[in-house]
């Protein structure tokens, strides 16, 4: 799993910027940034369209991540949203499909919904995004929760809240499925 990737939040919102957005993603790929993160909500699917253009002929070079809206995270809604995402991205699979944030749909229903496209090869792994510590503990405790491949959190130089909000037991580091549990910082 790459340590650094490219995000597409705010892409696909303005058609006059499409060429620049595509060029930025391609430059990132050329520089070795092979993880691209997008979501159905970014530009109302427009970011996924930008990513598809940028990835033309290069899909095999990329770890492609997208996210489902919480209100689409029902059994039927997840499958439909996944199909729409795959069409917009012009690909037949996602490397990782995430629940964008916790919503009102029970987590066990969402995780069950992730199994069908996983078994069909449409998503290789699934995970969650923007969960707080109690949500993460609940997710790991339910059926399907042990299959969570990653927990993506908002973290950058300006937004460092996870340093205070999430205990080490919830941080996932270095590779998929490696969860640090109750490890003191000096042991990592």
Please report, for residues 31, 78, 93, 137, 161, the alpha-carbon distance to residue 123 in angstroms, rounded to integers and kept in the order given.
Answer: 26, 12, 5, 23, 30
| Active site (annotated) includes residue 93 | no
Annotated active-site residue in 42, 69, 93, 126? 42
Residue 97 · residue 66 · CB < 8 Å: yes
Q: What's the chain's length in residues?
A: 188
**Residues known to be catalytic:** 42
């Amino acid at each position: 799993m790459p340590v650094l990737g490219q995000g597409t939040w705010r892409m696909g919102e303005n058609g006059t910027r499409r060429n620049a957005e595509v060029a930025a993603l391609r430059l990132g790929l050329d520089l070795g940034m092979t993880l691209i993160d997008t979501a159905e909500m970014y530009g109302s699917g427009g970011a996924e369209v930008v990513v598809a253009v940028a990835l033309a002929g290069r899909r095999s070079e990329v770890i492609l991540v997208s996210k489902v809206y919480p209100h689409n995270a029902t059994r039927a809604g997840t499958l439909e949203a996944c199909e729409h995402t795959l069409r917009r991205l012009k690909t037949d699979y996602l490397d990782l499909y995430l629940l964008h944030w916790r919503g009102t749909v029970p987590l066990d229903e969402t995780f069950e919904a992730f199994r069908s496209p996983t078994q069909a090869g449409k998503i290789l792994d699934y995970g969650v995004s923007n969960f707080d510590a109690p949500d993460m503990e609940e997710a790991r405790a339910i059926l399907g929760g042990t299959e969570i491949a990653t927990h993506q959190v908002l973290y950058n130089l300006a937004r460092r809240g996870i340093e205070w909000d999430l205990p080490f037991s919830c941080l996932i580091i270095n590779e998929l499925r490696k969860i640090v549990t109750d490890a003191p910082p000096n042991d990592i």
